[in-house]
């Protein structure tokens, strides 16, 4: 009975300076409320890295800095995930960026490549600056893909659809 009541834990960990990525994190959080998960949103500096092993699904949100760089405040999280190296952890990464820069949402790409190697990467999402109405649908798609991936991972069934998740599905 107790097991049936256990809701899987999702952590959305993000960083944002001017609010775009925070807005996107809020849309994704609100979408997750329709699913049977216990979802919590954290600013990266408020998330205790010692709790990384406790979450069932981890979703990362980041803007891009410098020339396609991961923001400094995300470095510790990046390295902790590399070290954790937990292939059963379902992950996704989203971010906002500005296509004026040569490496559009480069931080999303950098997280994607690491998460693909060290975790079970479900999906990625890139949004141009401030999320618009059209991005709400993309967030719904992202959440559905994560949910499917989580169910697949839970039932431990390998299917041919697995190949669709190479480097995560772009939402």
Decide whether 53 or 132 has the Cβ nearer to ligand FMN. Answer: 132
Decide whether 24 or 90 has the Cβ nearer to ligand FMN. Answer: 24
CB of 14 to ligand FMN, least distance (A): 8
Phi, psi of 30 (to 5 degrees): -60, -35
CB of 26 to ligand FMN, least distance (A): 11
Distances (CA, A) of 26 to 13, 117, 139: 11, 27, 10
Residues in the site for ligand FMN, rule: CB under 6 A?
Answer: 16-22, 63-68, 96-98, 101, 103-106, 129
DSSP string, 93-157: EEEEE-TTSSSTTHHHHHHHHHHHHHSEEEEEEEEESS--HHHHHHHHHHHHHHHHHHHHHHHT-
CB of 108 to ligand FMN, least distance (A): 9
Decide whether 64 or 120 has the Cβ nearer to ligand FMN. Answer: 64
């Amino acid at each position: 009975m107790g097991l049936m009541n256990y809701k899987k834990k999702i952590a959305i960990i993000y960083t944002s300076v001017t609010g775009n990525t925070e807005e996107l994190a809020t849309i994704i959080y609100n979408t997750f409320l329709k699913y049977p998960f216990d979802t919590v949103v954290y600013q990266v500096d408020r998330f205790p890295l010692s709790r990384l092993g406790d979450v069932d699904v981890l979703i990362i949100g980041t803007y891009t800095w410098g020339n396609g760089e991961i923001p400094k405040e995300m470095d510790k999280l990046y390295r902790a995930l590399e070290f954790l190296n937990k292939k059963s952890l379902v992950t996704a990464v989203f971010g906002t960026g500005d296509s004026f820069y040569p490496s559009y949402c480069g931080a999303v790409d950098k997280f994607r490549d690491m998460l693909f190697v060290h975790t079970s990467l479900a999906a990625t999402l890139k949004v141009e600056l401030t999320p618009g109405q059209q991005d709400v649908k993309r967030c719904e798609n992202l959440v559905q893909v994560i949910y499917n991936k989580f169910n697949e991972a839970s039932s431990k069934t390998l299917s041919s659809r697995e190949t669709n998740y190479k480097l995560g599905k772009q939402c």
